[in-house]
Chains A and B, each alone.
Chain A
Amino acid sequence: MAWAKKILRVNLTDGSIASEPLNMEWAQAYLGQRGLATRYLVEEVDPKCDPLGADNKVIMATGPLTGTMASTGGRYSVITKSPLTGTVACSNSGGFIGAEMKMAGWDMIIFEGKAASPVYLHVENDNAKLLPADQLWGKSVWETDELIHKIHQDPQIRIACIGRAAEAGCLYSAVINDLHRAAGRSGVGAVLASKNLKAVAVRGTLGVGNIKDPKRFMQSTGEQKQVLAENAVTGQGLPAFGTQVLMNVINEIGAMPTRNMREVKFEGAHKISAEAMAEPRKSDSKPNLTTNAGCFACTIACGRISTIDKGHFSVENKPQYWGNSGGLEYEAAWALGSDTGIDDLDALTYANFLCNEDGFDPISFGATVAAAMEMFEQGVITTEDTGGIEFKFGSAEALCKAAEITAAGEGFGKDLGMGSKRMCEKYGRPELSMTVKGQEFPAYDPRGIQGMGLTYATSNRGACHLRSYTVASEVLGIPEKTDPLATEGKPGLVKAFQDATAAFDSSGLCIFTSFAWTLDNVAPQLDASCEGDWTAERLVEVGERIWNLERDFNNKAGFTAKDDTLPKRFFTEPANTGPAEGKVSGVEQMLPEYYDLRGWTPDGEVTTQTRDRLDLPS
């Protein structure tokens, strides 16, 4: 009974706000958060709708373990139809607002319609109000956070909001909560902007109670925390180095996409790695990394809190950037650094700060800058297009400037804000966009880690590492080591990861626990807290159901098997060095087996049998 069993429905068109009971039948089938909110989206939103139109809806959803003492139990997701990809979007975030929503007594908030003028939602337990946000429109995330705290004079309010990037139409704009945690991918921020919804401010003091078997729950969560503490990745690697622990590892195995993914190894990786972040700098002998930080209830604490060197050109005369804020995670460091060929740690940190400050996804942004750099190198675009910025690979100045104009939606920043697919199409070079279904790649080369190629091709929200992180198996040996260069067995591996991940993402827990936990570790925590019997087997089934539900939504939106592919580069330009030298992606060989394992037609459609087996809605 860890669910609050209540949904807050906010109609932005007519300003009405209603409380309704959570559909517990669906909760038993789809668990919560990603799965359950997608079930609502499928029920209520036409897959063919304009993602930025009033017909789209956006759902902020928690899982049953959100707000409890289960380690990492503070997650929430933003579920909507993505304006970047046209697929279902589900962006997961930590921080504190998810737990705060639950403390206020809500499993989900569903936003529908479109407000006539800017508004923000203020929730204080049962009391929810739409308030005018005219004075907040045009403000950054950080300014908005400060202003809302000031308006309500309550330091405990948790805030999720959009920045200027979303307002300017950036298609990979994010919803940022707690200043620097992000529901980052797929442009969920742009959907809020399209609805004139600037922010959601929550204060919850009711707490989360009604745990089914409190004693067993406390014992189980305690045991599972111990498992995290004793695991080398979750107990040592992530707290000490963050996800940046991967920078040198991935670079060493020649799977570090570099300079718009032309290459697989970055010579400057050691300058932007976790180790570099811990190195005292010359100017003030402080390291880039101040401390690690945990999201709500997280006993891993991989978060980075960093500063920029005050003397760095990017912040020289800008004291507002001299304090601590959210530092580089691996994907951001890769996209802003390796993919652009930039090895200036302070420039990367600055660009990352701006991504948080104005709410846009550093992965898509960095990858789009990388595409612009390749076009610039080839003379497709010039300083005339870019407003004078020399988009050269390796140029820290170009990156910082690009971040500033994308944040503000000015000049060439408008093009950058389209994402690389639309930008490259605009300049006639679609093949230079490193995207799947319109979403930019993350930090693992599909030639060097073959399973990730299939992960990207089949991800329900476009290229993404967080839908089936087979890196765990192919590189780190979790739960067992597979050969990253092999394609054999990968369809099954990808499917297993996809289904398990969908269950993790629907529980309220963080996927990073899966470095140490399997669903066998999650199930007892759910079983002790939620009504119903929860086993690992049932969670796999729930995960598979969710995966198919998402796929079905995408199919109905018009996606077919031909969209399950990678950019040409990965089939025609073999890896240039390292263990994968000479290899291209084997996605096309893996797909038929994958579809078969999924119970889909060769065209990637969910079959009737599969639909019936999983009891999917028609």
Chain B
Amino acid sequence: MHHVIIGAGPAGVVAAEHLRKLDANCRISLIGDEPEPPYSRMALPYLLIDKIDEAGTYLRKSDGHYDRIGVEVRNDLVVSVSTSDRQLMLGGGGKVDYDKLLIATGARPTKPPIAGTDLAGVHSCWTLADARQIAEHTKPGAKVILMGAGFIGCIILEALASRGVELTVIEMEDRMVPRMMNHSSAGLIKSWCERKGVSVLTSMRVAAIQQDTGAHPLSVQLEGGASHPADLVICATGVAPNTELLQGTGITIDQGVLVNEHLQTSDANVFAAGDVAQGKDFSTGEYSVQAIQPTAVEHGRVAATNMASGHDMVHAGCINMNVLDTMGLVSASFGAWEGVANGESAELNDPGNYRYLNLQFEDDVLVGANSLGLTQHVGVLRGLIQSRFHLGHWKDKLLNNPTQIMEAYMAAAQGIGKA
């Protein structure tokens, strides 16, 4: 049995390891198109602030890890897939036959449809190579414009600011991290950043990026006419799943590669996991691309289990969740943080101390949450959402004081106060 995994990110690596755990004898190939050992994009911001070196970004730290567990890691580009022949064509000219295939090709940054994104000095921050480029060009005093204040944009904010650059963030939506945090908490993130000296423009679109002959090589034109000089523009406006490889194979592609509760695509021998996969969402029951680290890992495990012979695992869906550190302000989101129809919510809003907590309930079950400035026991929000515990009278206590989430969880889990 030959398992082939395309993509050496977290989903691919976890799948490879899990396959080995379940089957000591199968052949496992992991094909990645970047020259480095499998590494984590989550770690790139910390590389940029010199908290770690490049080796610190590697997904697995021990030497010879992949050899030891018998996973063949190949640095090559897969150019096409033949599902009928169960065969891959490689950029280097080789071919690889597979019995089961996992598509874990991840996502790539997209560029907005404006002029000038190809100019020298306009970068994404997605790969180790990007990080090296940015590190090289962000000298103290340089004018840097960050396009997009989504999750990716925000995690590199601190890295950029700490390099002493003059930083302006431009976000077209009405708030920062609009797909992760609600208005109140996102507003606090914005004011926090501004207090730290970052200029943040929301509800603002970039019209074009132009070359400039002045002191700064670039000029960012905003809709409405204003322009900002820049030495470097970082584009973090969004990512798109890498599905091209499957074009023409007949495998169903929607927003991403559509997978069922087994992480199986429309071809029974092909699975997909991680940022490329459009899998089940725990909260909505619908299928969507989450593109987050915990989901990639969970997908990797479930897909691997279903690829291994003799195993079958049904996936209840991943909770969409994120944690973000914006220049020292920690925020997190879980599940249906925007709330559900006829639901109720509890809110702690303490802007003076940059503390915020919003809980969303459906009946007496926690379904979603946003938190900000809280670092203790936040994981229990996931526990409450995932366990679907009925909170009973503890819901009223949470409506009154949402900080009692641990107590509510323990009361529900251990039946305290029910007698």
**B370 → chain A closest CB, angstroms:** 15
Chain A residues lying within 8 Å of B403, measured Cβ to Cβ, are: 153-155
Chain B residues lying within 8 Å of A154, measured Cβ to Cβ, are: 403
Chain A residues lying within 8 Å of B401, measured Cβ to Cβ, are: 149-150, 153, 155
Interface 0/1 of A130-158, CB less than 8 Å to B = 00000000000000000001101111000
Whether B355 is near chain A, meaning CB under 8 Å from some CB there, is yes
Q: Which of A546-579 contact B (CB under 8 A)?
A: none
- A149 and B403 alpha carbons, distance in the complex (Å): 10
- A155 and B348 alpha carbons, distance in the complex (Å): 12
Chain A residues lying within 8 Å of B407, measured Cβ to Cβ, are: 155
- A153 and B346 alpha carbons, distance in the complex (Å): 12
- A152 and B349 alpha carbons, distance in the complex (Å): 10
Whether B400 is near chain A, meaning CB under 8 Å from some CB there, is yes
- A152 and B350 alpha carbons, distance in the complex (Å): 8
Asked whether, in the complex, the Cβ of A153 is within 8 Å of the Cβ of B400, the reply is no
Asked whether, in the complex, the Cβ of B400 is within 8 Å of the Cβ of A155, the reply is no
Whether B404 is near chain A, meaning CB under 8 Å from some CB there, is yes
- A473 and B402 alpha carbons, distance in the complex (Å): 51
- A154 and B348 alpha carbons, distance in the complex (Å): 10
**A202 → chain B closest CB, angstroms:** 16
**A208 → chain B closest CB, angstroms:** 20
Q: Which of B371-411 contact A (CB under 8 A)?
A: 400-404, 407
- A154 and B406 alpha carbons, distance in the complex (Å): 13
**B402 → chain A closest CB, angstroms:** 8
Interface 0/1 of A451-495, CB less than 8 Å to B = 000000000000000000000000000000000000000000000
**A207 → chain B closest CB, angstroms:** 15
Interface 0/1 of A7-38, CB less than 8 Å to B = 00000000000000000000000000000000
- A150 and B357 alpha carbons, distance in the complex (Å): 13
Chain B residues lying within 8 Å of A149, measured Cβ to Cβ, are: 401
Chain A residues lying within 8 Å of B402, measured Cβ to Cβ, are: 153
Interface 0/1 of B318-353, CB less than 8 Å to A = 000000000000000000000000000000101000
Chain A residues lying within 8 Å of B400, measured Cβ to Cβ, are: 150
- A154 and B402 alpha carbons, distance in the complex (Å): 10
**A128 → chain B closest CB, angstroms:** 15
Q: Which of A150-209 contact B (CB under 8 A)?
A: 150, 152-155
Residue ID in chain A nearest B376 by CB atoms: A156
**A70 → chain B closest CB, angstroms:** 26
Q: Which residue, of A150, A152, A153, A154, has the highest number of chain B Cβ atoms within 10 A? A: A153
- A149 and B400 alpha carbons, distance in the complex (Å): 11
- A155 and B404 alpha carbons, distance in the complex (Å): 7
- A154 and B401 alpha carbons, distance in the complex (Å): 9
**A404 → chain B closest CB, angstroms:** 26
- A155 and B398 alpha carbons, distance in the complex (Å): 12
**A155 → chain B closest CB, angstroms:** 5
**A153 → chain B closest CB, angstroms:** 4
**A221 → chain B closest CB, angstroms:** 27
**A88 → chain B closest CB, angstroms:** 39
Chain A residues lying within 8 Å of B355, measured Cβ to Cβ, are: 153
Interface 0/1 of A499-543, CB less than 8 Å to B = 000000000000000000000000000000000000000000000
Chain B residues lying within 8 Å of A155, measured Cβ to Cβ, are: 401, 403-404, 407
Residue ID in chain B nearest A150 by CB atoms: B401
Residue ID in chain A nearest B357 by CB atoms: A153
Chain B residues lying within 8 Å of A150, measured Cβ to Cβ, are: 400-401
- A152 and B404 alpha carbons, distance in the complex (Å): 13
**A469 → chain B closest CB, angstroms:** 37
- A504 and B402 alpha carbons, distance in the complex (Å): 41
- A149 and B407 alpha carbons, distance in the complex (Å): 15
Chain B residues lying within 8 Å of A152, measured Cβ to Cβ, are: 350
Residue ID in chain B nearest A286 by CB atoms: B419
Interface 0/1 of B73-87, CB less than 8 Å to A = 000000000000000
- A149 and B357 alpha carbons, distance in the complex (Å): 15
**B414 → chain A closest CB, angstroms:** 15
Q: Which of B221-251 contact A (CB under 8 A)?
A: none
**B88 → chain A closest CB, angstroms:** 55
Q: Which of B349-364 contact A (CB under 8 A)?
A: 350, 355, 357
**A142 → chain B closest CB, angstroms:** 15
- A155 and B405 alpha carbons, distance in the complex (Å): 10
Q: Which residue, of B350, B357, B407, has the highest number of chain A Cβ atoms within 10 A? A: B350
Residue ID in chain A nearest B356 by CB atoms: A153
**B49 → chain A closest CB, angstroms:** 25
Q: Which of B196-221 contact A (CB under 8 A)?
A: none
- A426 and B401 alpha carbons, distance in the complex (Å): 47
Since A153-B348, A153-B403 are in contact, a sample of 4 more A-B pairs with Cβ atoms closer than 8 Å, ordered by chain A residue number, is A150-B401, A153-B350, A155-B403, A155-B407
Q: Which residues of A contact B (CB under 8 A)?
A: 149-150, 152-155
Sample 11 A-B pairs with CB under 8 A, ordered by A number: A149-B401, A150-B400, A150-B401, A153-B348, A153-B357, A153-B401, A153-B402, A153-B403, A155-B401, A155-B403, A155-B404
Q: Which residues of B contact A (CB under 8 A)?
A: 348, 350, 355, 357, 400-404, 407
Q: Closest 6 A-B residue pairs measured CB to CB? A: A153-B348, A155-B403, A153-B403, A155-B404, A153-B350, A150-B401
